[in-house]
Structure 1
Amino acid sequence: MSEDKIAFFIGLFGSVHCIGMCGPLAFAIPVAQGRGWLLLGDKLIYNLGRTFSYCLLGLLTGLIGQQLWLAGLQQWVSLFSGIFIIMAAFVRLLKLSVSRSAAVKNHLGWFNRLLSHALKHQWGHLFIGVLNGFLPCGFVYLALAGAVNTGNVISAVQYMFWFGMGTVPLMLLATISSSLISIPLRRQVNKVIPYIMLVLGVWFLLRGLNLNIPYLSPPETVTETSMCG
């Protein structure tokens, strides 16, 4: 499976969880009366705004990842990503609480006030979608862990784009029909998600270990440069 497909499915499965987290924000965006089917266009613009933010995060992550790869640290990046994802999976499986630092809470407080101001003054679906894309989210971090392993900026942006596209179908349908995905179904999917994270984390670990296993753990490639003259 290609990395873009993996990113898409991370977004697709993650969006079931995100409906409970980001859905209320999407429902809170004012919609002009009498717009009829244009409601679909407004909600699509909101979701594209989120995807745009994910691409910007992919750009920043890609710049970091590219420097790490140029420094020959791709093996360690893959190993660290795998460990990070596996730890996050066990946090969900064991239902552990992760406390946030005062700095993070202050940042979120400022960000929430900005979102409230944007909603109150009807800044539009696109801008609110862009803001929503920067909200802290475990699945965004999971996607960024994959993006940093792509090794270059363009691939990282593409990875986050497909992650964003994966979140669009269910988020779009849920904002049109709030009863589309029931709470019991979301709970069942949420139980499966940590195991998907474990599989993904183990895959990153295997990639980093260079065990010469086709498709799972390819050997480390060494670039040889020849000098002429």
Structure 2
Amino acid sequence: MQPELYLSYSSAFVIGLLGSTHCLGMCGGISASLSMALPVGRGFRFRQSLLLLGFNFGRIASYALIAALVALVSTSAAQHSKMAGMALMTLAGLLLIFMGLSMGQWWQGIRFVEKVGAPVWRRLSPLTKGLLPVNHLWQALALGALWGWLPCGLVYSTLGWAALQPTVPSAALTMVFFGLGTLPSMLATGYAANWIRDLKSNRQFRKLSGILLVLFGLWTLPWQALLMG
């Protein structure tokens, strides 16, 4: 594994962790509702865990697929044009900065970026209704695979970073690590953990996460190229 890819994978994981409060707002409700249709009794906790893991596996698989589709275009463009590569780096950095400003509740401009995926979601969202209530693993997997296409500024910000990867598989793997970073809070929400709800409303945590995401974005920007011209 190349050192720069390792850094990107670990950083993508950290971005997922930092953005977990945003994930709770976008996906936390559906994750928590997976348990509601299950009868409480023997085997409840096992079935609950199976459905939660299935939903999140489907969600992360969709992130990887979207990254692969984006990378098919971005890697080719970056290889053929140095300017295209710098433009991608600039876009990725700005998206992370926008997401950080949103997390810190300083500016919500990332919502305009989320509108990019709205047409696709309008076509996919009706399919989710046919999968509810979720009683079987295949339903949880399918629901997660559809939910991964929900317009989300945090996902788009990380996708911009994944698009900088040199190959399609490395771009997809970047999003897998990002998804794994969001997993702890998503699972905790599914288990109705009170501490994760408190974390979501903690202003200090949101501001700290926002600052760190902005720093990630600033680090991503191609400063040398921008300053030279």
Counterparts of 1:151-166 in structure 2 under 5 Å? Answer: 151-166=166-181
SS at match of 1:190: helix
Aligned residues: 211
What is the deviation of 1:110? Answer: 4.3
How far apart, in 2, do the equivalents of 1:18 and 1:126 lie?
18
AA aligned opposite 1:93 = W
Q: Which has the larger displacement, 123-132 or 154-163?
A: 123-132
How far apart, in 1, do the equivalents of 2:37 and 2:23 lie?
21
What is the deviation of 1:202? Answer: 0.9
* Alignment partner of 1:199 is 2:180: no
Residue segments in structure 2 that go unaligned for 5+ positions in a row: 1-5
> Do the aligned residues in 2 keep the contact of 1:76 with 1:208 (CA within 8 Å)?
no
- Please point out which of 77, 84, 92 is paired with 2:88: 77
> Do the aligned residues in 2 keep the contact of 1:78 with 1:207 (CA within 8 Å)?
no
- Please point out which of 30, 33, 49 is paired with 1:28: 33
* Cα offsets for 1:65-97 (capped at 9, x unmatched): 211221133222212322343344445423458
- Please point out which of 169, 184, 187 is paired with 1:172: 187
What RMSD in Å do the two structures reach over aligned CA positions?
2.9
How far apart, in 2, do the equivalents of 1:70 and 1:27 lie?
43
Greater share of residues in helix: 2
> Which runs of at least 4 in structure 1 moved beyond 6 Å after TM superposition?
100-104
- Residue of structure 2 in register with 1:112 after alignment: 125
- Please point out which of 3, 25, 39 is paired with 2:8: 3
Counterparts of 1:56-135 in structure 2 under 5 Å? Answer: 56-72=65-81, 73-90=84-101, 92-95=105-108, 98=111, 108-120=121-133, 124-135=139-150
AA aligned opposite 1:203 = W
- Residue of structure 2 in register with 1:37 after alignment: 45
How far apart, in 2, do the equivalents of 1:101 and 1:166 lie?
21
* Cα offsets for 1:12-65 (capped at 9, x unmatched): 111222113211111223543233231112211111111111110111122122
SS at match of 1:93: coil
Change (3 A) 1:68 1:208: farther
How far apart, in 1, do the equivalents of 2:115 and 2:214 lie?
30
Residue segments in structure 1 that go unaligned for 5+ positions in a row: 212-229
Task: Give aligned-pair identity as a percent.
Answer: 27
- Residue of structure 2 in register with 1:209 after alignment: 225
Change (3 A) 1:107 1:149: closer
Q: TM-score, normalised by structure 2?
A: 0.78
How far apart, in 1, do the equivalents of 2:173 and 2:17 lie?
16
